[in-house]
């Protein structure tokens, strides 16, 4: 089964991939989850789990869909999707399904009907822990982008195959062999260049709370790939940029905060900026609004903002009038 496995040998899905584990409560009937594809900049995504009619049909309804594309746009994104309802007692009894789909302005939702709901809710079948107060079953969702057309997207570099025209050093990163460009790295961070020079990056060399996927994507940005950050990785990028002294990546994060970070409200972005003492983010974000409609689209929750932020927004309103 396709799976972006960053704990074993990585598989370079260069057009983008996404993996999510989630626990779905039996008492719920329909939940939506944010989904992030960092290589695709202009499309927001969600996936949903729906059991509203599952007792009648014996099917669990799983769907993937874009949330911000108008009907008159012209684009296509082809992806493979796999879903596993994990059995806690043995993976042999897990329920698996998958499908391929091409999203476009006319085909906007992938729906997979997964049979076996009666087994999932039967406490004898091992899909949930009956001793816990909250009964949940575990869903493992994976998607891989196969092609894109007429959308704002990029392609990742393959760090796992040696290419002398691109890379000049081989580095062991947490047990994974990666090929990197030392000259490009040295221009941005002497600290990281010294680490790469040792040809080994250990767990102790990086800040806590970082996963290998963060390191992989951090090196993509270091090498010039324009990835879209989201709520699950932007703080990891800030930690790495601060620890390794890479000011260009710090500025890259700030620029994304100004434009908007997937999965984060504007107020959450303000909180993150204040946490890291990025006092220029709010003024730059407010100034980025070129009309009142732009300012409104930034979705400020004024009741939960500090007075100085409200003052900056108010001043911008008068400037735009």
Residue with token string 């905060």: 257
Name the token pair of 147.
Answer: 């092609």
> What pLDDT is recorded for position 11?
67
Residues 244 and 283 in one domain: no
Residues 231 and 277 in one domain: no
pLDDT digits (tens, 9 = 90+) for 210-225: 999 999 999 999 999 9
Q: Are strands 200-201 and 169-173 parallel, antiparallel or unpaired?
A: parallel
When pLDDT is cut at 50, 70 and 90, the band that residue 148 belongs to is very high
Q: What's the half-sphere exposure (Cβ side, CA atoms, 13 Å) at 280? A: 5
Residues 233 and 281 in one domain: no
Phi, psi (rounded to 5 degrees) for 291: -155, 170
pLDDT digits (tens, 9 = 90+) for 4-33: 444 444 567 899 999 999 999 999 999 999
Task: Assess if residue 293 is contained within a domain.
Answer: yes
> What pLDDT is recorded for position 235?
97
Task: Assess if residue 178 is contained within a domain.
Answer: yes
Query: Does 122 have pLDDT greater than 90?
Result: yes
Task: Assess if residue 157 is contained within a domain.
Answer: no
Q: Rounded CA gap, 295 and 289, in Å?
A: 5
Q: How far apart are the first and last CA of the chain?
A: 56
Residues 217 and 282 in one domain: no
When pLDDT is cut at 50, 70 and 90, the band that residue 45 belongs to is very high
> What pLDDT is recorded for position 72?
73
Task: Assess if residue 7 is contained within a domain.
Answer: no
Name the token pair of 314.
Answer: 């108010």
3-state per-residue secondary structure call for the chain: CCCCCCCCCCCCCCCCEEEEEEEEECCCCEEEEEECCCCECCCCEEEEEECCCHHHHCEEEEEEEECCCCCCCCCEEEEEEEEEEECCCCHHHCEEEEEEEEEECCCCCEEEEEECHHHHCCCCCCCCCCCCCCCEEEEEEEEEEEEEECCCECCCCCCCCCCCCCCCEEEEECCEEEEECHHHHHHHCHHHHHHHHCCEECHHHCCCCCCHHHHHHHHHHHCCCCCCCECCCHHHHHHHHHHCCCHHHHHHHHHHHHHCCECCCHHHHHHHHHHCCCCCHHHHHHHCCCCHHHHHHCCCCHHHCCHHHHHHHHHHHHHHC
Residues 240 and 270 in one domain: no
Q: For residues 145 and 40, is the Cβ–Cβ distance under 8 A? A: yes
Domain boundary among 149, 182, 213: 149
Task: Assess if residue 3 is contained within a domain.
Answer: no
Residues 33 and 139 in one domain: yes
When pLDDT is cut at 50, 70 and 90, the band that residue 74 belongs to is confident
Q: Rounded CA gap, 13 and 2, in Å?
A: 10
Report CA 51 to chain centroid distance, whole Å.
25
When pLDDT is cut at 50, 70 and 90, the band that residue 282 belongs to is very high
> What pLDDT is recorded for position 7?
41
Domain boundary among 106, 121, 149: 149
Answer with the residue of higher pLDDT: 141 or 5. Answer: 141
- How far CA 193 is from CA of 177, 181, 237, 245, in Å, comes to 17, 10, 17, 10
Q: For residues 83 and 69, is the Cβ–Cβ distance under 8 A? A: no
Q: Which one, of 43, 35, 40, 7, lies nearest residue 19 by Cα? A: 35
Residue with token string 């062999």: 177
- The percentage of residues in the chain with a pLDDT greater than 70, rounded to a whole number, is 97
- Mean pLDDT of the region 39-64: 95
> What pLDDT is recorded for position 167?
96
Query: Does 180 have pLDDT greater than 50?
Result: yes
When pLDDT is cut at 50, 70 and 90, the band that residue 3 belongs to is very low
- The percentage of residues in the chain with a pLDDT greater than 90, rounded to a whole number, is 89
Comparing 89-103, 228-242, 243-257, 274-288, the range with the smallest average pLDDT is 89-103
Residue range(s) defining the domain that contains residue 211: 169-259
pLDDT digits (tens, 9 = 90+) for 226-264: 999 999 999 999 999 999 999 999 999 999 999 999 999
> What pLDDT is recorded for position 219?
97
Mean of the per-residue pLDDT values of the chain: 93
Domain boundary among 259, 281, 312: 259
**What's the CATH number where 234 sits?**
3.30.710.10
Residues 60 and 28 in one domain: yes
Residues 30 and 110 in one domain: yes
Residues 108 and 31 in one domain: yes
- How far CA 159 is from CA of 156, 166, 200, 210, 314, in Å, comes to 9, 10, 15, 19, 47
Q: Rounded CA gap, 232 and 104, in Å?
A: 26
Q: Rounded CA gap, 243 and 252, in Å?
A: 15
Report the domain count for the chain: 3
The whole model's pTM is what?
A: 0.90
Name the token pair of 164.
Answer: 């002398």
> What pLDDT is recorded for position 306?
93
Residues 140 and 56 in one domain: yes
Residues 221 and 102 in one domain: no
Task: Assess if residue 6 is contained within a domain.
Answer: no
């Amino acid at each position: 089964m396709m799976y972006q496995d960053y704990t074993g040998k990585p598989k370079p899905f260069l057009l983008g991939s996404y993996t999510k584990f989630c626990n779905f409560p039996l008492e719920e009937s329909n939940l939506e989850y944010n989904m992030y594809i960092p290589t695709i900049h202009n499309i927001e995504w969600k996936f949903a789990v729906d059991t509203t009619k599952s007792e009648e049909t014996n099917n669990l309804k799983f769907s993937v869909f874009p949330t911000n594309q108008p009907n008159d746009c012209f684009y296509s994104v082809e992806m493979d999707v796999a879903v596993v309802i994990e059995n806690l007692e043995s993976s042999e009894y897990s329920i698996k399904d998958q499908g391929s789909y091409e999203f476009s302005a006319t085909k906007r939702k992938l729906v997979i009907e997964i049979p076996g709901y009666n087994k999932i809710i039967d406490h004898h079948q091992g899909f949930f822990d009956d001793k816990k107060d909250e009964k949940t079953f575990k869903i493992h969702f994976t998607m891989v982008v196969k092609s894109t057309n007429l959308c704002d997207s990029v392609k990742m570099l393959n760090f796992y195959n040696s290419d002398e025209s691109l890379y000049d050093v081989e580095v062991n990163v947490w047990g994974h062999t990666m090929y990197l460009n030392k000259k490009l790295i040295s221009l941005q961070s002497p600290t990281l260049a010294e680490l790469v020079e040792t040809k080994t990056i250990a767990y102790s060399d990086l800040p806590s709370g970082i996963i290998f996927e963060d390191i992989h994507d951090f090196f993509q940005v270091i090498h010039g790939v324009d990835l879209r950050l989201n709520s699950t990785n932007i703080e990891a990028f800030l930690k790495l940029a601060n620890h390794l002294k890479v000011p260009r990546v710090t500025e890259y994060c700030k620029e994304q905060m100004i434009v908007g970070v997937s999965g984060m409200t504007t107020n959450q972005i303000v909180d993150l900026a204040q946490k890291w003492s990025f006092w220029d983010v709010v003024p730059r974000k407010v100034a980025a609004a070129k009309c009142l409609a732009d300012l409104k689209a930034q979705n400020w929750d004024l009741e939960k903002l500090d007075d100085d932020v409200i003052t900056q927004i108010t001043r911008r309103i008068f400037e735009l009038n």
